[in-house]
Amino acid sequence: MVRLRFAPSPTGYLHVGGLRTALFCWLYARKNGGKFIFRLEDTDQKRIFEGAENQLTSMLEWSGIEIDEGPQYGGIHGPYRQSERLDIYAQYIRLLLDEGNAYRCFCTSERLEKLRNEQRKKGNTPRYDGFCRNLTKSEASRRAESGEDYVVRMKIPEVPETMVLNDLIRGIVSIETSQSEDQVIVKSDGFPTYHLAVVIDDYLMKITHVVRGEEWIPSFPKHLLLYRYFGWDPPQFAHLPLILNPDRSKLSKRQGDVAVEDFRNNGFLPESLVNFVAMLGWSPGEDKELFTLPELIREFSFERVNKSGAVFDQEKLNWMNQQYIQKLELDDLQQRLNPFINKTPYAGKDQKILRKIIKILQPRLVTLSEIRNRLSLFFENNPEASDPEVLKVLREENSKQVLANFIKQVESVEKLTKDNLGDLMKNVQNETKIKGKNLWMPLRYAITLDSEGPDLNLIVDLFGKERCLHLARSALKF
Ligand code: GLU
């Protein structure tokens, strides 16, 4: 059975890159009837961000990714927080020390600092020089027992070797062990570092496929060595391509909001965010862009993930979100909009009226949060026009003629609905000799106050004679 894990460190929010890793793991697990495991890699106690674990899991849940095993979900391979696995690591650390595959290092930070500076001065990459590598075991034990601070380092073979990885995305990747130094695997606070904990946990949790960002490629020789030292078969690996800004720089927090929570708060649907994120590096074999989760599960494979970086295209995400909003059932859309409406002055308005308004707005909404700026048109007596394009058009002489004539026409009829709007506008056209875009645009702008506003027929129907007259009169004054 395949078992894949998402193993974030609780150092911050769930980033779109993390969402993609989790999604690919989950899709692959679901496709193959396997399990998706959430493991918290919290061995770096200094970088823990309060509440991060809940943040991470709740954003996965919001995205529709179900966790089968994890800290709050149970499972027989726990505990799933690394900070609760120190006893387990201790056994393996002892084993590495006993078998001479790791050693205690007592070098002080001053010595290491000095070493690094000297190496840099000579133009070399700073790396540990193996000073404590040849301490006898009894000498090292004595110093440790006497209370001296130490870390544990793994041994990189003295005779350089080429480590080869058959990556599911990249194929064969080879790296020389000589590029790694004797990596610290246990810090002076007794916590293992990522490299040791990840290998032990992936093995003990029976992980079959390790999926992570390509920034971890340089680490695999160390990991493969640890698997060898323990006598374990390594899992399969898939290193995902970077996510890039349109200028091809690495997507990072500094360049705008990339936390999943921000996308949610900005009114993106989980369906569209997940669909969009799936396309960051993966592409289906066909010319299709919109995929539901079940479709993604069916189609997903690592073979179709690219090696090269994937550009994050916000316009594409906006387009997808609009597509998904258009497809929602009206009731569903209304429910999803309610939390956004509740943050406006129109919270508590009659749900039936809101429903009619939402129906009119649905084809145009790009994000749920846009509803905030769209409601004043329906509820304010004198809604304000802020769209510069609208103001420009309404200030034109031609527009004023159209609106004045429209007012005259509407005053002469009993009711204004979508059914007689066309005839009335024909009259306006005949009397003003203005037609086409120049005829309709002023009216549309006067009534919707928005250059990308909702369908004019629907809105005229909802507003009726008095409100349309009022809006047309107001527009004359702009
Ligand atoms: N804790 C690591 C991270 O947050 C996980 C890397 C891995 O999946 O092995 O990036």
Residue 212 Cα to ligand 1 midpoint, Å, equals: 7
Position in ligand 1 atom list of the atom nearest CA 21: 8
- Identify the residue whose C-alpha is closest to ligand 1 atom 4: 8
Position in ligand 1 atom list of the atom nearest CA 41: 1
Position in ligand 1 atom list of the atom nearest CA 211: 8
Residue 238 Cα to ligand 1 midpoint, Å, equals: 13
* For ligand 1, mutation pick of 38, 198, 200, 211 (most atoms within 8 Å of CB): 198
Question: What separation, in Å, do the N-terminal and C-terminal C-alpha atoms of the chain show?
Answer: 69
Residue 51 Cα to ligand 1 midpoint, Å, equals: 18
Contact residues of ligand 1, CB 6 A cut-off: 7-9, 41, 194, 198, 212, 216
Position in ligand 1 atom list of the atom nearest CA 6: 8
Q: What is the pLDDT of residue 33?
A: 98
Query: Cis omega before residue 79 (within 30°)?
Result: yes
* For ligand 1, mutation pick of 216, 240, 243 (most atoms within 8 Å of CB): 216
Q: Looking at 114, 250, 253, 426, which residue is catalytic?
A: 253
Task: Determine whether 121 is an active site residue.
Answer: no
Q: What is the pLDDT of residue 452?
A: 79
- Identify the residue whose C-alpha is closest to ligand 1 atom 9: 212
Residue 121 Cα to ligand 1 midpoint, Å, equals: 33
* For ligand 1, mutation pick of 194, 200, 226 (most atoms within 8 Å of CB): 194
Residue 347 Cα to ligand 1 midpoint, Å, equals: 42
- Identify the residue whose C-alpha is closest to ligand 1 atom 8: 212
- Per-10-residue mean pLDDT of the chain, 478 residues long, equals 97 93 98 98 88 96 98 96 97 97 97 95 93 95 96 96 96 94 96 97 98 96 98 98 89 72 97 97 91 96 95 96 98 98 95 95 96 93 89 95 97 96 97 95 94 88 96 93
Residue 237 Cα to ligand 1 midpoint, Å, equals: 13
The CA distance from 321 to 59, in Å, is 18
